[in-house]
Amino acid sequence: MGTQHLSQPELYIGLMSGTSLDGIDAVLVDFAPPAPTLLGKFFFPFDDALRQAVLALHLPAQNELHQTQLIANQLATLYAQAVNALLALTCHTPQQILAIGCHGQTIRHCPEHGYTLQIGNAALLAELTSITVVSDFRSRDIAAGGQGAPLVPAFHDKLLRAPGVHRVIVNIGGISNLTNLAPGVTTSGFDCGPGNLLMDAWCMQHLKRSYDANGAWAATGRVLPELLQLMLAEPFFALPPPKSSGRDLFNMQWLQSKLTGDESPEDVQATLLELTCRTIAEAIQTQCAGAQAVYLCGGGAHNLTLLNRLATLLSSSIVQTTNELGVDSDFLEAIAFAWLAQQNLQGLPANLPLVTGARHSCILGAVYPA
């Protein structure tokens, strides 16, 4: 990311609350040429009650539609608080911001049925902030026959391509996804499978902690080869791209269906960490052959046990985080949603048909003017 410049600012806010349900990543970015500048960042954690309420929306429940809309309103209020905190932190006013790109909270992702659902009441967010909001970025791509995900590879392509160097960018959030930036070849990308979400859920169940800091607990267990093979047999892993996934497939029911009940919890955690690493490494080896450098982002990049294991599995590549490229690995997705908002307002398409499988490129997102 660039240093501050003198041309007319083009300020956008990006809001990402992802599948991990840890909270809201908020960024303020100036897209004035020559390069995007990160002016401020802010993380707003979700409390446990909200996390549980969103998780419950993943299951059929009584009065589900009413609950969904109430939580969408609650999310809009929290998004607005994150925006206000970011504006205060960076000394900006709403009038200076061209738009907020708000991902929303995914509660269903079913491209096979022609829909995906990210909630967050963008109309209310526009009302509360007096800033134009762009949201619902995935639906148009699905309407055009695509997966609606992953969308960030298009931004990786703009920001992180380097002439003559074969880079792969790997986001390890709740779900993991990669972008293949091979010289002279069209950018590709896809979801690899579970990133942290199964490890988080298992850790919550056994240690009452929302995640396994640095993979320290996983490091005390041993990988269970039979369980690992059972999990790797999931057909999603062998599917060719384009492909995307979410909690709809990878959830506690999925994990429970693979367990005998005799496993020790730390061994399961070690096996889940190995599953994340193996599926990422195999995705790189099969789809990104010859990669010279792999750059990690997302919360999983903080997990030292995971980082070391990936580096071992990918010993022919350099394995680092995107911080080494000057892009904050914790806020890359939020920055991408600020960029997606800019693309929309400028009337530019933002999906990569090779990545999502859409029949054509499209302008992504719905606009709620200030």
Ligand X SMILES: CC(=O)N[C@H]1[C@@H]2OC[C@@H](O2)[C@@H](O)[C@@H]1O[C@H](C)C(=O)O
First to last CA, the chain: 28
Which of 333, 336, 362, 364 contacts ligand ATP by CB under 6 A? 333
Q: Consult the annotation and say whether 13 binds a ligand.
A: no
Exposure string over 211-235, b if 16+ CB within 10 A, otherwise e: bbeebebbbebebbeebbeebeebe
Specify the 3-state DSSP secondary structure of 106.
strand
Q: Consult the annotation and say whether 21 binds a ligand.
A: yes
Check binding of 177 to ligand X (CB under 6 A): yes
34 preceded by a cis bond (ω within 30 of 0): yes
Check binding of 241 to ligand X (CB under 6 A): no
Interaction residues for ligand ATP, span 231-290 (CB under 6 A): none
- Give whole-number Cα distances, 159 to 18, 31, 187, 268, 288, in Å: 21, 12, 12, 37, 19
Check binding of 18 to ligand X (CB under 6 A): yes
CB 177 within 8 A of CB 191: yes
Q: Report how far residue 316's alpha carbon sits from residue 292's, in angstroms, rounded to the nearest whole number.
A: 7
Q: From ligand X, ligand ATP, none, which one binds at residue 273 (CB under 5 to 8 Å depending on kind)? A: none
- Residue whose structure tokens are 């909001």: 133
Q: From ligand ATP, ligand X, none, which one binds at residue 74 (CB under 5 to 8 Å depending on kind)? A: none
Contact flags string 296-315 toward ligand ATP, x per CB under 6 A: --xxx-xx------------
Q: Which of 355, 271, 280, 273 is nearest to 319 (CA)?
A: 280
Q: Consult the annotation and say whether 354 binds a ligand.
A: no
Q: Dihedral, CA atoms, 339, 344, 349, 352, nearest 10 degrees?
A: 40
Contact flags string 299-338 toward ligand X, x per CB under 6 A: ----------------------------------x-----
Check binding of 79 to ligand ATP (CB under 6 A): no
CB 207 within 8 A of CB 219: no
Q: Which is nearer to ligand X, 173 or 221 (CB)?
A: 173
Report the nearest approach of ligand ATP to the CB of residue 163 (Å).
28
Check binding of 104 to ligand ATP (CB under 6 A): no
Q: Consult the annotation and say whether 25 binds a ligand.
A: yes
Taken as a whole, the chain contains a residue count of: 370
Interaction residues for ligand X, span 70-109 (CB under 6 A): 106, 109
Report the nearest approach of ligand ATP to the CB of residue 8 (Å).
31
- Looking at beta carbons, which residue is closest to ligand ATP? 299
369 class by beta-carbon count within 10 Å (0-12 exposed, 13-18 middle, 19+ buried): exposed
Q: Report how far residue 100's alpha carbon sits from residue 90's, in angstroms, rounded to the nearest whole number.
A: 15
Report the nearest approach of ligand X to the CB of residue 268 (Å).
22
Check binding of 147 to ligand ATP (CB under 6 A): no
Helical residues (DSSP H) of the chain, grouped into ranges: 48-57, 64-90, 122-129, 139-143, 153-160, 197-207, 225-232, 235-238, 252-256, 265-287, 304-313, 332-345, 353-356
Interaction residues for ligand X, span 152-171 (CB under 6 A): 152, 171
Report the nearest approach of ligand ATP to the CB of residue 176 (Å).
7
Q: From ligand X, ligand ATP, none, which one binds at residue 146 (CB under 5 to 8 Å depending on kind)? A: none
- Binding-site entries for ATP: 18-25
Provide the binding-site residues for ligand ATP, judged by CB under 6 A: 16, 18-20, 22, 171, 173-175, 195-196, 200, 211-215, 298-300, 302-303, 333
Provide the binding-site residues for ligand X, judged by CB under 6 A: 18-19, 106, 109, 116, 149-152, 171, 173-175, 177, 191, 244, 246, 333
